[in-house]
């Protein structure tokens, strides 16, 4: 009789532990799913501007820090440094467009910021890695695009529609190949922009004019800056800050002018 009681006690204890484990795992999964729904993706410290493996060895560089949306020396006018509205050319003298094709990156638009003398091609990666939530591959894909201009996030809306166009670019080169590119410092002067400055985005034969309405400095791992806007038509330009470091991200927010 005593042995039977011991067996029953062990059974009830095991059942109780399973129930507790189930409740804990259900809670964790629910929180994770809820966070993904809120942010539009998994909770990750996403850095689309870090070094590619084997190119640099880190995201911080003592002299010319890598960038997460770069930040470093004075920004060169991309149009004069390499009068190439063609995203398939680099400062190294004609890197084949096959690299862009291999990574499913298309020439998409032209970004102009008169106040800091920037005119630069905009590259658009496919939704392949974004849709699969393969963040490491998306980071590599964007890094390739950043050698040939600035890069629009694949979940951006079509310019002119409600929502946000997200564009990232280097303010300081994170790798030797970025250093050799005409676009390693393209956004180095982005911190100089002020409210009211104009930014134009030309795509599909149409030019859209945006006006700077705000600038923000956020931590490097802040993914909320990539959330879509449903009520207005915005442009967000993202680069590392302070210039020459990857400590934070500078986000310039501009609104479409009707």
Specify whether 9 is located in the same domain as 90: no
pLDDT on residue 39: 34
Most distant CA pair in the chain, distance? 92
Closest residue by Cα to residue 167 from 107, 105, 124: 124
3-state class of 234 per DSSP? strand
Specify whether 32 is located in the same domain as 53: no
Please identify which residue in the block is written with the tokens 């890695």.
129
pLDDT tens track, the chain, 258 positions:
555 555 556 555 555 554 544 444 444 334 433 433 333 333 222 333 333 333 333 222 222 222 333 332 222 223 323 333 333 333 333 454 788 999 999 988 999 999 999 999 999 999 999 999 999 999 999 999 999 999 999 999 999 999 999 999 999 887 777 787 889 899 999 999 999 999 999 998 999 999 999 999 999 889 899 999 889 999 999 999 999 888 899 999 999 998
Specify whether 222 is located in the same domain as 95: yes
Specify whether 164 is located in the same domain as 59: yes
Total tally of structural domains belonging to the chain: 2
Specify whether 116 is located in the same domain as 178: yes
CATH of the domain at 147: 2.40.260.10
Give the H/E segment covering residue 200. Answer: strand 198-203
Tokens standing for 191?
A: 């911190």
Please identify which residue in the block is written with the tokens 């020459």.
244
Specify whether 34 is located in the same domain as 155: no
Task: Give the count of beta carbons closer than 10 Å to the beta carbon of residue 66.
Answer: 27
Specify whether 141 is located in the same domain as 24: no
Environment class of 149 (CB within 10 Å of its CB; exposed 0-12, middle 13-18, buried 19+): buried
Q: Which domain holds residue 53?
A: 44-256
Specify whether 55 is located in the same domain as 150: yes
| Cα(17)–Cα(30) distance, integer angstroms | 20
pLDDT on residue 15: 55
Residue 250 β-bridge partners:
217, 239
pLDDT on residue 180: 78
Specify whether 128 is located in the same domain as 219: yes
Specify whether 32 is located in the same domain as 104: no
Specify whether 192 is located in the same domain as 123: yes
Specify whether 118 is located in the same domain as 29: no
Closest residue by Cα to residue 142 from 124, 160, 158: 124
């Amino acid at each position: 009789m005593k042995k039977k009681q011991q067996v029953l006690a062990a059974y009830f204890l095991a059942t109780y532990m399973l129930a507790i484990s189930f409740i804990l795992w259900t809670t964790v999964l629910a929180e994770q799913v809820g966070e993904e729904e809120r942010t539009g993706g998994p909770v990750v410290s996403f850095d689309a501007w870090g070094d590619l493996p084997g190119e640099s060895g880190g995201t911080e560089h003592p002299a010319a820090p890598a960038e997460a949306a770069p930040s470093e020396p004075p920004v060169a006018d991309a149009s004069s440094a390499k009068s190439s509205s063609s995203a398939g050319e680099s400062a190294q003298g004609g890197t084949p467009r096959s690299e862009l094709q291999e990574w499913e990156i298309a020439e998409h638009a032209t970004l102009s910021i008169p106040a800091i003398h920037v005119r630069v091609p905009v590259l658009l990666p496919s939704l392949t890695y974004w849709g699969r939530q393969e963040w490491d591959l998306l980071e590599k894909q964007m890094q390739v695009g950043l050698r040939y201009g600035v890069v629009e996030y694949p979940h951006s809306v079509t310019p002119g529609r409600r929502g946000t166009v997200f564009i990232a670019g280097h303010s300081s080169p994170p790798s030797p190949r970025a250093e050799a590119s005409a676009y390693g410092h393209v956004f180095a002067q982005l911190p100089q922009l002020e409210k009211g400055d104009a930014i134009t985005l030309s795509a599909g034969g149409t030019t859209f004019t945006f006006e700077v309405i705000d600038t923000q400095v956020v931590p490097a791992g802040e993914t909320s800056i990539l959330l879509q806007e449903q009520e207005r038509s915005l442009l967000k330009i993202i680069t590392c800050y302070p210039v020459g470091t990857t400590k934070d991200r500078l986000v310039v927010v501009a609104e479409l002018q009707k």
